[in-house]
Amino acid sequence: MKRRRKSRRGAWIDFFLIGSIITLTTIIITISITDQFKFQKPTVSATTTEYPSDISSLFEEKESQFPKIRIISESSVNHFIPYSLEYPKTSFDQVNDQINQYIKDAKQVYTKTLNQKIKESKIKSIGDLTITTEIYEFKDKYYSVVLKKQLSYNKVSYKETFKTIVFNKDNGEIIESNTLFNHNIGHLNLLARYLSSELKKVYGNQVINEKLDEVLSPNWEHFNRFAAANDSIIFYFNQGELALEDAGAAKISVPISFLNPILASDFQSNETSAVTILSPKKKVALTFDDGPHSKVTMQILDTLDKYGAKATFFMLGKQVEKNKNIANEVLNRGHEIGNHTYNHPVLTKQSTSQVIWQVDHTSQIIYDVTGEYPTVFRPPYGASNQTVKSLVDIPVVLWTIDTYDWKYRDSNKILPFVQANLHDGAIILMHDIHQSTADGLDSVLAYLQEQGYECVTVSELLAEKN
């Protein structure tokens, strides 16, 4: 009996152990599978859906302050492609066609660029497109519509551009630059030179001269972005069109009285002006001696750029050796370099061999540093005689206005000397080694601009006289 009970107990134990093992195994496998799915990184498709090319918009139409012109407000209903557009609707098909085509193109380029950014980055890009309208009425006969577009992607790289349409308010005839300037290419050349000078003042050293020359080349299409306002013609230039992107867009407003001689009669002003675009430009030459200086010369260059002014720098050889990069910067910014000897001696007290060494050695230094020889020479202290002149093979240039910046070292005293002695063809003496000269230059250039003077190099001034 005892053996039978023992055998029956052993079978139950075996059954229990086997069942426990099976249960535990099942639990472990379940946990393992569960954990595998729990911590496995899901795979996501890299494909991102493109934005549709045709975006639904909300429209609102309202009256404007101008008869027969209504204003359309259009906004996107897609928050990934936001835009807010405001543009006019006129009673003339030819005008509306231009406006509507511009709006259509703006939206298409906007969406296309967003989709291109998706392909490049594999993520959604959010843009922002805004178009606003400004309207001018001129002589109760013409309307000028100015559409300003501001565009950005992911709230960076904002860019501002313009579209303008000038039209006869009675018949819808669109006026372009060739009509405005009497189909006279000579008038266009005069305008191009004037706008070039003004834009250099606006952009300073941010202007890109190659772009400026291209945009202002005498082609009628290049000058069609304008508006006729009450007393001026306004020319619009897109951001990045002529200068670095950071410099922004530009508007040049030119008084109609100034443009009168080259405008079509319909656009001329009844007001007369003593100075017009045909008036001979008064010129002066700004000159700076004894540099280049590591700090002062750079400040002077920046101020000259601000006003679009050119100058001549009479450099000492020893200073060029110490400030090679500054000497190159002077040339790079379009200014002229003159020879002012090596170490500023009184040449009339030097031997012939000493004069020759002072001049030739300095010219060679300037050439070795900049790759160009100096084009003019100024003797230190203005001390010269026939012997000195005979030893110099480039023009010897003195001055007609001394600002005495070397004597007073006072930024406020420079302008009065210029005002008291200013004349057409003046050569103004200053020094780019004094901080006070750099500080006082802005007021001098502002005054010269107000008085209608153009600042040119000495060589340019001499060429005018000859």
Residues acting as catalytic residues: 289, 431
- Phi and psi at residue 247, to the nearest 5°: -75, -15
DSSP symbols for 118-167: HHHHSS---EEEEEEEEEEEETTTEEEEEEEEEEEETTEEEEEEEEEEEE
Structure tokens at 404: 């005495």
Neighbouring residues of 84: CB distance < 8 A, sequence distance ≥ 6: 73, 74, 75, 76, 129, 130, 131
51 neighbors 115 (Cβ within 8 angstroms):
yes
241 neighbors 215 (Cβ within 8 angstroms):
yes
Q: Is 375 helix (H, G, I), strand (E, B) or coil?
A: coil
Neighbouring residues of 415: CB distance < 8 A, sequence distance ≥ 6: 440, 443, 444, 447
Q: What b/e string do you get for 391-417 counting C-beta neighbours within 10 Å, with b at 16 or more? A: bbeeeebebebebebbeeeebeebbeb
167 neighbors 143 (Cβ within 8 angstroms):
yes
Q: Is 43 helix (H, G, I), strand (E, B) or coil?
A: coil
Alpha helices in 216-348, H assignment, sequence order: 256-259, 296-306, 317-322, 324-332
Strand partners, 311: 286
